[in-house]
Amino acid sequence: MPRGIEDRDIRGSARMATGNAREPFDRSGRWVVLLALGVLLAAPYMMRAPSPSVGVSGATLEERVKRIGKKLLCLCGCNQILVECNHRNCPFSGPAIATLRQAAQRYESDDLAIQAMIQQYGTAILAAPPAQGFNLTAWITPFVAAASGLVVIALVLRRWSRRSAATPTMGAPISDDPAWRERVRQEIERELGDLP
């Protein structure tokens, strides 16, 4: 017998004796399991839709322009959302949407496209003021005013309820003094006597 065959037989019989007859299969089985696990973990990432980026297809670009355009205002005077301006032959929305389309093609991020629109048209184009700096007051002031109004109403109602509880419901008692009664009777007769 050739030397290589004897060695394999000896190793095979040794594995059989020690109970490790399936060792080569276990090693290859591990690789198969690890490979299958890797494919399963990578499959969702390989199948996901491509993110909109430079050179996106027409449909994806239009969806992105609509999504970004809903965050912007038409400045023709209608104060409608840019992509929803319903004025026929609007002098602003057509060119602004074209500019937005170019910005969406140029920049991968929606925020960068919005910043490009702000640079060209100013912050007046934003549908909602940014929540930073002085514009933050536009977000906070209505809530502060409403809370202050509720506090003032609560204080006024409390004061009114205490005042009404402090005042007696019955009139002042009539005095038993005969001189006072006589003076009141004469005053009534004088006032009634002046009537025609």
Q: What is the pLDDT along the chain (196 residues), one digit of tens a residue?
A: 455 555 555 555 555 555 555 554 456 567 777 777 777 777 766 665 444 444 444 558 899 999 999 999 998 888 889 888 888 888 988 899 999 999 999 988 889 999 999 999 988 888 887 777 777 787 788 899 999 999 999 999 988 888 766 665 565 667 778 888 899 889 998 888 877 6
Predicted local distance difference test score (pLDDT) of residue 117 = 92
Predicted local distance difference test score (pLDDT) of residue 114 = 92
Q: Are 87 and 102 in contact (CB under 8 A)?
A: no
Predicted local distance difference test score (pLDDT) of residue 54 = 43
Predicted local distance difference test score (pLDDT) of residue 53 = 44
**Taking the complete model, does pTM exceed 0.75, yes or no?**
no
Three-state SS at 77: coil
Both tokens of 3, joined, read: 């030397």
- Residue 112: closest CA among 103, 121, 120: 103
Predicted local distance difference test score (pLDDT) of residue 46 = 64
Predicted local distance difference test score (pLDDT) of residue 167 = 62
Q: Which CATH fold topology does 52-152 show?
A: Helicase, Ruva Protein; domain 3 (1.10.8)
Predicted local distance difference test score (pLDDT) of residue 57 = 47
Question: What are the φ and ψ backbone dihedral angles of 72, each rounded to 5 degrees?
Answer: -120, 155
d(CA 189, CA 183): 10
Q: Are 67 and 56 in contact (CB under 8 A)?
A: no
